[in-house]
Structure 1
Amino acid sequence: MTRMLHLAKASLLPRRPVVGRGLLDASTTVLRVHPGDLDMYVHVNNGSYLQMMDVARSNLIADLGGFSLLRAEGWYPVVAASTMTYKRSLQLFEKVTITTRVLGWDARVVYIEQVFTRAGTFAARGWVAGRFLGKDGSRVAPADVVALLGGQGEVQSPALPDDVAAWARSVDVAHREADQA
């Protein structure tokens, strides 16, 4: 419940935009592990990582000044697919830094990497394939979202890392030639 309130705050009362922040620049979110994040083994539950990632992605949108832009269009983000890799457990009250960055996009989704570190040590990594929907539930082309959030001019997607592209194909979120966004 704590993370849901945290997400509501991050989305409804977003932090101030970062002047000069570009769509491909990393966004940093610092959180502390709360008792509600823990499972019966007294480390962060896998579902809590996903909720922390939601907060960090909202902060990325806030850093870009994107909430008012998205609201004006009636667009909102959803997760199409995600995967996690865990290296070290996170413990109660530890400070956790989540570095969120857009890796690229295709005609279907935007690919985001989110890296968890504690005291400068790698703890976990998540990849998210996200899409944006309109008020009526229709899909919004990632290029349109990039143009809106990217600001000046058309931004080209960087090439996706090979492992991310392979994951996207394996979970069937990657663009296929027969697709229509």
Structure 2
Amino acid sequence: MYPFLRLAKEFYVHRNDPALPLTGTHVSHHLCWPWDLDLWMELNNGRTLTLLDLGRLPLARRVGLIAVMKSQGWGLTMAGVSVRYRRRVRMFDRFHTRSRCIGWDERFIYIEQGMWRGGECCNHALYRAAVTDANGIVTPDRVMRAMGLDVASPPLPGWVSAWIEAEAKRPWPPMAE
């Protein structure tokens, strides 16, 4: 089940946090609960993606995206993700998530997130997000204008550009057999 209560807690905890610039970093603190575990008694890889929502959505609020989406009747969807898992997160481990927008192109907004325990990164994700309306994807330049911003994307890091290029070569739909 989706952690609605945990998400509500994150919005409550960060309700008075100052606004962030578009590429600012939001930090949230979490605990790995027994219901987050897999058969090997560590944070389930699918649950990791769900828990990253708990950083991404408050980030979207703090940069002003959620208010604009509400006013425009827009939605937000994740259009792709690449995750690198490096350290186990076990039951009752405390960790924090760092979330930030690293740039955008003509269709998508790219968000980088990492779960950290102490000074060690446990996993790292790159998301491709899309703002949507009834007609499909709302272009990032239109989103920026609605947010009152007239800014170009910061240059995307080479590893992000390489991922975008690799995703463009990936067949869709995938082979059925």
- Flag whether TM exceeds 0.5 (same fold): yes
TM-score bucket of the superposed structures, by smaller chain: 0.7 to 0.9
Verify the 8 A CA contact 1:14 1:59 in the aligned structure 2. Answer: no
Give structure 1 stretches of 5+ with no counterpart: 174-181
Q: Deviations over 1:59-78 (max 9, x none)?
A: 10122243232111011110
**Alignment partner, residue 95 of structure 2:** 96
SS at the partner of 2:168?
coil
**Alignment partner, residue 145 of structure 1:** 143
Structure 1 distance, partners of 2:165, 2:53, is 23
Q: Deviations over 1:84-137 (max 9, x none)?
A: 001100011111111011111000100110011001211110000000101x15
**Alignment partner, residue 164 of structure 1:** 160
Q: Deviations over 1:5-52 (max 9, x none)?
A: 434x26986842643410011111111111111000000010011001
**Alignment partner, residue 117 of structure 2:** 118
Verify the 8 A CA contact 1:4 1:51 in the aligned structure 2. Answer: no
Give structure 2 stretches of 5+ with no counterpart: 170-177
Q: What letter corresponds to residue 3 of structure 1 in structure 2?
A: P
Per the TM alignment, residue 155 of structure 1 is displaced from its structure 2 partner at its CA by 1.5
Length-normalised TM-score, structure 1: 0.84
Verify the 8 A CA contact 2:110 2:127 in the aligned structure 1. Answer: yes
Task: Count residues in correspondence.
Answer: 169
Provide closer, same or farther for how the CA distance between residues 109 and 69 of structure 1 changes in structure 2, counting only shifts above 3 A: same
Structure 1 distance, partners of 2:47, 2:86, is 15
Length-normalised TM-score, structure 2: 0.86
Provide closer, same or farther for how the CA distance between residues 119 and 12 of structure 1 changes in structure 2, counting only shifts above 3 A: closer
Q: Percent identity over the alignment?
A: 27
Structure 1 segments, 4+ long, off by >6 Å, are 10-14
Provide closer, same or farther for how the CA distance between residues 158 and 110 of structure 1 changes in structure 2, counting only shifts above 3 A: same
Verify the 8 A CA contact 2:86 2:122 in the aligned structure 1. Answer: yes
Structure 2 distance, partners of 1:83, 1:169, is 13
